[in-house]
Amino acid sequence: MILKDKVIIITGAGPGMGQAMCRGAAMEGAKVAISARSTEFIEKLHDEITANGGDVIAIPTDVSDTAQCQNLAKATLDKWGRIDGLVHSAYFHPDWANLDVASVDQLAQAFDVIALGGLRMAQAVIPAMKEQGGGSIVNISTLASRKPMPGEGGYAMCKAALNQLSRQLAIELGGTGIRANTALMGWMDGVPLDGFFASMGEEGAAYRKQRASEVPVGHIPPDKDCAKAVYFLLSDYASEVTGAALDVNGGDWVAP
């Protein structure tokens, strides 16, 4: 239980890795504040984790709203008295489109949720982390910011800004005991990807098989297993790791 008794906030706890992280962090011994815009999603997840013996609160939060970010941090402190970790996983995905025709309004919304949302949440938890002498911030990014894909440029641009947020925080928070890192996720098997393949109709099964064959580990990594890399970055095992970008993609991208 590498997160035993740590208090962790996780944003973006919708279907997929967000929920997988919440379940897994609780199983690793953390007290978890789960958040997303959907009250229905997080309340159901709250009840599931509680039924399995986890210690959890569910706080509806729109990370594009500074007051709601501050409220999430306050609710966590009111419940447990400290904040040991923040995982910023909330995102808005613009429509798939090449940049020459992409909706600038959608990209602005994505930037607000992904990059500025990460900054709002960091600003909300940093005072408590400074006061207690340490903490870990993990921003969830994407392989697309390493390996450009047609149609994914807008999303990748916003995640690339989030990558820089982690690097900047790691330097600016030097001496406080607060670490900031990024976990860059590739293709992940789970509910969102199931929906993507289903949307392709009869071609979906064949494309899933093709994609799996292209990943060096021999399969599309399950989201619940990708989440384990995040637990490492949150944990004391990563006590000397800050400003790092950890690729979690089964070898689909091999960093230099």
pLDDT tens-digit series, residues 99-145: 999 999 999 999 999 999 999 999 999 999 999 999 999 999 999 99
Coil, strand, or helix at residue 58? strand
Coil, strand, or helix at residue 10? strand
Work out the mean pLDDT of the chain and round it to a whole number. 96
In this prediction, residue 14 carries a pLDDT of 85
Half-sphere exposure at residue 226, Cβ-oriented, CA atoms within 13 angstroms? 31
> Which residues partner with 245 through β-bridges?
182
Question: Residue 88 burial by CB count (10 A; 0-12/13-18/19+): exposed, middle or buried?
Answer: buried
Tell me the whole-structure pTM to 2 decimals.
0.96
Question: DSSP for 164-225?
Answer: HHHHHHHHHTTTTTEEEEEEEE---BSHHHHHHHHTTTTHHHHHHHHHHHHSTTSSPPBHHH
pLDDT tens-digit series, residues 54-69: 999 999 999 999 999 9
